[in-house]
Amino acid sequence: MFSNPLETLPDKAKFARDFLNNWDTSCWRGYIAYWQLTDNKLYLTNIVSCSFANRHAVPLATLFGDQFNKGWVLADWFSGDLISPRGKLLRYYHDAYKSIYAYEMVYQFNQGTLSSKTVFDNRKTKISTYEVDNGKLKHFVYSRIAWNKLPTLPTDLVIKVFVRIISHPEGGKPAIKLIKGAGSVWDTEAVRVMRLLPEWSVDYISGKFRPTAYHFPILFSEANKKRYVK
């Protein structure tokens, strides 16, 4: 679940963290909460430590008092969306809840009661081999530079041009934007070659295209010229 309903109660979330005293970088909340949807109501059923070897539990009766009923706590404090990823993992991001799955089920709650749910299709998400294989991207770029039409450089000089690769909604040819140039002749050639890229990665979140950008430096040097000129 890509949501943390307990965090909307900061004092209780802090109590859980302090009680368990088990925070680490793989579990930044400091606890694992279990939730259940029954009869269109959202219930908190357990709060445990992050350690699988030493799984302590927070006493819900102590934390919630009279709200604790028959082993559960009705989450009537929570209004908002709960996002449940479904299906295949399409793209991993090492950031909280940023990874993309084939589908998202979004449950909307009002004071703990389910008011609506929507399924979003993210299957148009695609990862380009040019993004994940930097060697392939470099070979594509440097082997297409018209080296013989460019000025000859001193062996110890490297001309750097920085561009931004901006994804296309269908994963096709990306847009290219010059970020930092080094002079007209170098900038023009860098942009020309980058615009030859046939495709790039594309992300869809909640069924909608999310533009992404990738920064790439083109290094003009005699060493690269010798390496790639056929």
Residue 181 belongs to a domain with what CATH number? Answer: 3.30.1150
* pLDDT, tens digit (0-9, with 9 covering 90-100), for 163-214: 999 999 999 999 999 999 999 999 999 999 999 999 999 999 999 999 999 9
- The H-assigned helical ranges of the chain are 10-20, 60-64, 129-132, 134-142, 184-194, 222-228
Give the residue from 228, 71, 39, 42 showing the smallest Cα distance to 135.
228
- Give the model's pLDDT for residue 219: 97
Higher pLDDT, 122 or 19: 122
Q: Which of 100, 121, 142 is the endpoint of a domain?
A: 121
Full residue range of the structural domain in which residue 176 is found: 129-228
37 and 134 assigned to the same domain: no
Split into its structural domains, the chain has a count of 2
9 and 75 assigned to the same domain: yes
Predicted structure pTM score = 0.82
Evaluate if residue 150 carries a pLDDT over 90: yes
Name residue 28's amino acid: W
Q: Which of 97, 121, 145 is the endpoint of a domain?
A: 121
DSSP one-letter code for 212:
-
Spacing of C-alpha 161 from chain mean position: 27
- Give the model's pLDDT for residue 31: 86
147 and 195 assigned to the same domain: yes
Residue 117 CA to residue 71 CA, distance in Å, equals 26
* Structural tokens at position 126: 């695609």
94 and 20 assigned to the same domain: yes
CB 130 within 8 A of CB 137: yes
Position of tokens 């400091």? 30
Evaluate if residue 26 carries a pLDDT over 80: no
77 and 139 assigned to the same domain: no
164 and 219 assigned to the same domain: yes
90 and 39 assigned to the same domain: yes
List the Cα angle 100/117/91 in 5-degree steps: 5
34 and 76 assigned to the same domain: yes
DSSP one-letter code for 202:
B
41 and 117 assigned to the same domain: yes
176 and 102 assigned to the same domain: no
138 and 94 assigned to the same domain: no
Give the residue from 183, 144, 192, 193 showing the smallest Cα distance to 160.
183
96 and 193 assigned to the same domain: no
Name residue 206's amino acid: S
- Gyration radius of the chain's alpha carbons: 26
